[in-house]
Chains A and B, each alone.
Chain A
Amino acid sequence: MKEDLNYTTSGLDPRVKLIASFSFLMLITTIHDAFILFLSFIAVLCAWILAKLPVKTVVSFFKGISLLLAFMFISSTIFSRVMPKEQLMFIEIINLPVFGVIGIYEEVLLATIAFSFRTLSLVSVALLVALTTEPSKTVTVLRKLRFPYELTIMVVIAIRFIPLIVDQWKKLTAVAKVRGVETDGIRGRIKSIRRLFTPLIIHSIRRSAQLAYSLDARGFRSAKNPTTMEVLHLKRSDFLLLIFAGAQIALSVLIVLGVVSFQNFSITQWALNSIKF
């Protein structure tokens, strides 16, 4: 289990990290320019470097997310069926008999670039918080926010069990393959899901029973207000991050109110115009 969840502690208070990530996400949802969103992604990358996460974790995450975004980008750009408001540029790719002309509109391209970088930043910052915060600290934060003890423990169990369930699913699939059950292809996968779902659930229930016994043996729910092992204190670095988060929130509010605008600063538009042919 420890190998699956190799948490790296950043030294920052988890409450401050949550506030900072929320403020950052607030800011990137108010910005629409692709280049600014690209810069924000670079800022998240810097945070990833500062967090000193294992290279393997970083590479596997970015490999997965890049593939996902590449597919999203291609499918959204090419298969967008609605004509944009202003047709600035159009590159024809293919003319199919049923689908008609399939190509890329500049407006769609800009929207998908912005959308991709926003998604990338959104996922990266959320994952950064998750990878640098131990579940025990998450419990402490939820306890500080006056969530019931039972609920916080349930959140931790759910988080801890996600990799174990995925592992169990892989084992069941391997067993099904050995027994000659077809698990390849879309049809095979759908059939296998139906066949493997019940054993997965039964296995999970048995595991729940074991875990419930262990929890009861350790005195779970015996105290009305159990204390936590870790006590959270804000440090100087936490206060600095809080100031940064406050600045991000202020900027987002100014953008929403229209006081600050990046519309005249659209480097993406300029770059596309310069390569227009």
Chain B
Amino acid sequence: MSEMETEQEKGFFSRFATFDLVLIAIFIGIWYGVQQIWFIGIAAIPAPVSWIFSIILYELLALTLVMLAATVIKKGGTVFLIFFLHGLLEVVIFPNIFSVIGLVSDIMPGVLIEAFFYITGGYPNSSLKSGIGACLRAIVFYPFQLLMIAITYPEYVEIVSFFYGLPYGLYIVLSVVIGVVFGFIAGILGYRIGLKVKEAI
């Protein structure tokens, strides 16, 4: 038994208690579930507006949950694990090339946010740090994801100019700007709700 424990202690997952793992899984369930619900609602809105709305709502929900989990669990690797699991879940539930791109795109912000927290001395202890950490996602996620989609599915560039009336480059820049602003807000929200939740449990 002791040998087995030593083996497990070496792994990435050893730092997480079973409760942490289940909590992350359930948070991913919330993220994915709500994402599916609003996707149907947003499709009814005309194209340029729906795009802005989807980024705002996506950032607000996803980053609030991520920073909430980071505040409650406070163990290095939590943010990375959440992003990775979300990407993996998309691949498992909805297997297609875009979900694979999504998985790779999800890994990068996970690494960047983890690096930011590591350099600045650990997981957030202020809403400002949480906000800055959260807004980093948009900086790497949107350019990478949209460029990968443009490479694998060139028609998408035409679709964007058709339906959104924007050049593709501007579309990427605007996605990043909106993402950074609302990611920052979501990070602050996540930290504050996280503190409340911590008190409640």
Contact = CB atoms under 8 A, between A and B. Distances in A.
B26 A79 contact: no
B147 to A, nearest CB: 17
B162 A111 contact: yes
Contacts of A160: 29
A76 B163 contact: yes
Interface string A145-164: 00010110111011111111
Contacts of B159: 111, 115
B94 interface: yes
B20 to A, nearest CB: 8
A215 B18 CA distance: 8
Interface size class of A (residues with CB under 8 A): 35 or more
A154 B85 contact: yes
A9 B161 CA distance: 42
B21 A64 contact: no
A271 interface: no
Contact of B47 (A21, A79, A130, A212): A79
A212 B19 contact: yes
A76 B89 contact: no
Contacts of B18: 212, 215-216, 220-221
A137 B158 CA distance: 39
Contacts of A212: 17-19, 21-23
A157 to B, nearest CB: 4
Contacts of B161: 82
Contact of B43 (A72, A115, A163): A72
B22 A159 contact: no
A162 B93 CA distance: 12
Contact of A22 (B43, B89, B95): B95
Nearest to B29: A161
B162 A207 contact: no
Interface in B1-52: 4, 7-8, 11-13, 16-19, 21-30, 32-33, 36-37, 40, 43-48, 50
B197 A158 contact: no
Interface in A35-58: none
Nearest to B161: A82
Contacts of B26: 157-158, 161, 165, 204, 207-208, 211
B97 interface: yes
A21 B197 contact: no
A224 B7 contact: yes
A108 interface: yes
Interface string B58-80: 00000010001000100000000
Find the residue from B8, B50, B64, B95 having the highest chain A CB count within 10 A: B95
Contacts of A29: 97, 152-153
Contact of B11 (A32, A148, A157): A148
Contacts of A22: 95-97
B200 interface: yes
Contacts of A157: 22, 25-26, 29
B200 A202 contact: yes
Contacts of B48: 79, 81
B92 interface: yes
Interface stretch (A193-201, A238-246, A260-268): A193-201
B180 interface: no
28 contacts: A18-B95, A29-B97, A67-B40, A68-B40, A71-B43, A76-B47, A76-B163, A79-B48, A80-B47, A80-B163, A82-B161, A108-B162, A126-B94, A126-B95, A150-B21, A151-B85, A154-B22, A154-B24, A155-B25, A159-B92, A165-B26, A165-B33, A166-B33, A201-B193, A204-B27, A212-B17, A212-B23, A220-B18
Leading 9 A-B pairs by shortest Cβ distance? A161-B29, A157-B25, A212-B19, A81-B165, A154-B25, A79-B46, A71-B44, A208-B23, A162-B33
